C-alpha cells in the first residue's frame, strides 16, 4: 500500500511517478488492485496479467543480448565478492539471519564460498525475470545492448 500512497501523492502534486526495479510481482501490486492474500488459481491468472492499472501507465522493460547480460551479471558478482560480501554474510550468519535474509540471492552460495554457483543462480534469476516480464500486457521493450544509460533514458523519455 505504501507504493499506492506514493504514486497517488505524486500525481496529486502534479508530478510523474516513476517506479523502478523490484520484482515483477511488486510492480504489478504497485500498479493494480492486486490481492496478495492468496495465490491466484492456476487456471485464471488474469489479475496478474490484466492490462488494467489504477492510473494510466506506461511500462518499460530493459533487455539486452543474453550473452552480454550474463557477462554483466558475472562481473557484478565478482565486484560484490571483492567488496567483502562473503565476510558480511558470515557476520550475518553468526547473528542469526531472518528467514528473508536466508533466502536472499547469493546468501548460501557466499557462505559456501561458491562464487560460480552465485553467478549461475543470478543468471537464472535474470532469465526468470525476463520470462515474467514478457507476460506483462503493453510492455514496451528497450534493448540496451551496447547502449549507454543516457541513450536508454533518452529513448524512454521520447516515449513519455
> Is pLDDT at 39 greater than 70 in this prediction?
no
Q: What is the largest CA-CA distance in the chain?
A: 50
d(CA 37, CA 28): 14
Q: Which three cell numbers stand for residue 126?
A: 535474470
pTM: 0.78
The alpha carbon dihedral of 131, 26, 143, 160 has a sign of positive
- List the single range of 26-40, 90-104, 120-134, 136-150 with lowest mean pLDDT: 26-40
- Using CA atoms, how far apart are residues 159 and 149, in angstroms rounded to an integer? 16
Where is pLDDT greater, at 145 or 45?
145
Per-residue pLDDT of 113-154, as tens digits, reads 999 999 999 999 999 989 888 888 888 999 999 999 999 999
Rounded to 5 degrees, φ, ψ at 53 are -135, 165
Amino acid at each position: 500500500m505504501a507504493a499506492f500512497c506514493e504514486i497517488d501523492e505524486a500525481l496529486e502534486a502534479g508530478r510523474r511517478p516513476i517506479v523502478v526495479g523490484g520484482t515483477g510481482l511488486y510492480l504489478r501490486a504497485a500498479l493494480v488492485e492486486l490481492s496478495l492474500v492468496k495465490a491466484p488459481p492456476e487456471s485464471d491468472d488474469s489479475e496478474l496479467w490484466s492490462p488494467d492499472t489504477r492510473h494510466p501507465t506506461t511500462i518499460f522493460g530493459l533487455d539486452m543480448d543474453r550473452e552480454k547480460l550474463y557477462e554483466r551479471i558475472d562481473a557484478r558478482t565478482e565486484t560484490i565478492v571483492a567488496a567483502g560480501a562473503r565476510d558480511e554474510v558470515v557476520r550475518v550468519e553468526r547473528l542469526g539471519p531472518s528467514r528473508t535474509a536466508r533466502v536472499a540471492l547469493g546468501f548460501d552460495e557466499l557462505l559456501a564460498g561458491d562464487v560460480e554457483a552465485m553467478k549461475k543462480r543470478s543468471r537464472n534469476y535474470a532469465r526468470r525475470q525476463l520470462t515474467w516480464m514478457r507476460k506483462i500486457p503493453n510492455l514496451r521493450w528497450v534493448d540496451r545492448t551496447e547502449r549507454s544509460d543516457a541513450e536508454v533514458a533518452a529513448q524512454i523519455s521520447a516515449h513519455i
